Structures are given as C-alpha cells and as structure tokens.
Amino acid sequence: MNTMYNILLELPFFQGLCHEDITSILEKITLDFKDLGENQVIAQKGSEANQLIFVMEGRIKKDSSTLNGKLIMEEIIRPPYVIEPQALFGWNTTLFSTYSTFSPTKLLVVSKKALRNELFNYEVFKLNFLNYICYQNQKLNQQQWNLEDQTIEERLLSVLWNLSDRNSIQQTIRVKMTILAQFMSSTRLNISRILNEWNDLHLVKLSRQEIIIPNPKKLLMYKEQIKREREK
C-alpha cells in the first residue's frame, strides 16, 4: 500500500492527498495499469476523451498540427504527464493530438465515470484538476495579449514556446519556410535569417523543411536574455 501511495503522489492531481484518501480511492475504483513497448499508439487525434491517462514511466511522442496540416510538431514528452485532461469536459471532448510510446512506457488509466463519480469527491484532487484547467486558460489569454512591442525574433520565440508542451524535452517542427513566414506575418528572408542565427547558437538544428529543437527550455532562456538586453 505504501508503494502505491508513493506512486500516486508523483502523478498530477493526486499530489497533496493524505494516506487515508489514497487508501479510500484504491478501495472504490479500479486503477488500470498498462505496460506498453516502443512505437505503440496510446490515443489518436480526434478520438473521444473518455478516460484519464497518466504517463508514469518512459517517454511518449506527441504529434500535433495546425488545422490545415501545414505545420506539424512532434514532441518527446517526459513523465509524469497526463494526456489532455481538459478534453474530458466541455463542448469538444475529442483529443487534439496523437500520442504514442517513444520508449517502453507505463500508464495509469482511470475511466471518466470513476473520475466524475468518485475522484471529484476528494477536494484536493478536484482542486488540483481545476487549477490545471485554469492554468491552461490563463496561459492562453496571456499568449494572445503578450506580443506587443516584441521584435519578430521574440515573437517567433513566443509562438514556438507557446505551441510546445511544458513536459517537452525535444521538438521537431515540419513546415515550409514560406508557410512559417506567413504564420508569423513576416518574410521568408527574415525568418530564415533568425533560424540560421539560432542554428549557429546551437539552439536549433535545421534541415529541409524541418526545425529540430533539442532543448525547448533553452529557447525560453534565450528569449528572456534578449528581452533583458533590449530593456537595458
């Protein structure tokens, strides 16, 4: 029981629950643990979100794209991680991205019924869930209103960071330079110049119609650096 208690406390939404609550949860609901090998699909884009999926161990791959499919982002995600809990409720309850295993992976799956009928009865769990959803909404609002007075380089950094998952440890973006320039309301020459400068700084690796970001957090640090320099 102590081992299970420690495992659950490492996962999003369970943090802060007392030992008695964890024991009560284990008595009331079935926790479905799954072990998957490499390159196995976990959940498909457009499928109904009818369960809460926690990634406990291993690395997973997240594939996302714009609606027209002209910009595709592939991310490697580290655990602990929960797959699109915001899709469980609301006007659109389908997944936005496709998720598959990048390495052998251990999952914990909880049904939507168990979430609604049992887990939400625990105040700490419910508050953790609501805080996550509120954070996603607040982040979106900030992104929409935080591009003022930024250079094109800062805007590109902001867009790439905002599109990325916070648990992402590597990203691959597949897009034509002309499409990315249109996306940024800039010119192909400007975007190409910026990306080549980043390549020289080892922030990205460039190949034909592909931008590899080995460490997304380095881009964020670089964004903060040029912001400080501009404000001097």
Distance CA 31, CA 17 (A): 16
Distance CA 217, CA 175 (A): 21
pTM for the structure as a whole: 0.90
The tokens for 19 are 């030992």
Low-confidence ranges of the chain (pLDDT < 50): none
Element of type H or E holding 113: helix 112-117
Contacts of 5 (CB under 8 A, 6+ apart): 19, 22, 23
Distance CA 165, CA 152 (A): 22
List of domains in the chain = 2-58+81-142 (2.60.120.10), 146-231 (2.60.120.10)
Closest CA to 177 of 201, 155, 194: 194
Please tell me whether residue 92 adopts helix, strand or coil conformation. Answer: coil
